[in-house]
Chains A and B, each alone.
Chain A
Amino acid sequence: DTEVTQTPKHLVMGMTNKKSLKCEQHMGHRAMYWYKQKAKKPPELMFVYSYEKLSINESVPSRFSPECPNSSLLNLHLHALQPEDSALYLCASSQDRRLAGIYNEQFFGPGTRLTVL
């Protein structure tokens, strides 16, 4: 299984709502990532989890809260979002062999299209 799955595919929420995005992989990867992608732009890294610990937070506002319950799952909790947060949210995973000096490619999910009203 070489797939990263994301749910939901589409999400519409109001600025006062609380919602969560979910990501799952069964490739045995130990690094997982959240990206935000605006139209006609490359993905922007938000968070990196390595061995279930948050290793990189790219100064993301606290209204985005990541969680890694286990090595296969990654969540992104959303609260009090702004309309400018509307974007495609992509999850990715990789083997994370940094200690061996080998970089492993990231596998991306299909994304969640988020609209904040």
Chain B
Amino acid sequence: GDSVTQMEGPVTLSEEAFLTINCTYTATGYPSLFWYVQYPGEGLQLLLKATKADDKGSNKGFEATYRKETTSFHLEKGSVQVSDSAVYFCALSDQGAQKLVFGQGTRLTINP
């Protein structure tokens, strides 16, 4: 079945550091890929998405590129802020499916 694997956390960085959170997937079809962010005490917010190979999703300085050859969708940001501290979930949905398959989540803490 479909699955998503994220790098294990927690990840702790200093403000203005470069961020990468790795995400790889397995899927039988041609999935859409997503990054969701969950701030403390809140629900999930869609951060960015990509629906086909080589698409780049971007939002709020975050980027991720859909790499079919490596089945990856790594999240990057050039300069993180304290306000980026949250849990980040990589997820996929196979074409025609109604289910989101989530990775285990990566807790990110940014220190000033």
Residues of A within 8 A of B (CB): 4, 6, 31, 33, 40-43, 45, 48, 50, 55-56, 90, 92, 94, 96, 98, 101-103, 105-111
Contacts and interface: CB of A to CB of B under 8 A. Distances in A.
28 contacts: A4-B43, A31-B98, A40-B105, A42-B89, A42-B102, A42-B104, A43-B102, A45-B100, A48-B98, A48-B99, A50-B98, A56-B99, A90-B43, A96-B98, A98-B96, A98-B98, A101-B95, A103-B32, A103-B93, A103-B97, A105-B34, A105-B49, A106-B100, A108-B36, A108-B43, A108-B44, A110-B42, A111-B43
A6 B95 CA distance: 28
Contacts of B100: 43, 45, 106
A43 B99 CA distance: 11
A39 B69 CA distance: 34
A13 B97 CA distance: 35
A108 B38 CA distance: 10
B45 interface: yes
Nearest to A44: B102
A55 B44 contact: no
Interface residues of B, number: 23
Contacts of B51: 102-103
B21 to A, nearest CB: 14
Interface string B1-45: 000000000000000000000000000000010101000001111
Interface string B47-64: 001010000000000000
Nearest to A111: B43
B105 A41 contact: yes
Interface centre among B49, B95, B96 (most CB of A within 10 A): B96
Question: Which of B32, B34, B102: most chain A CB closer than 10 A?
Answer: B102
B46 A107 contact: yes
B46 to A, nearest CB: 5
A106 B34 CA distance: 10
A109 B49 contact: no
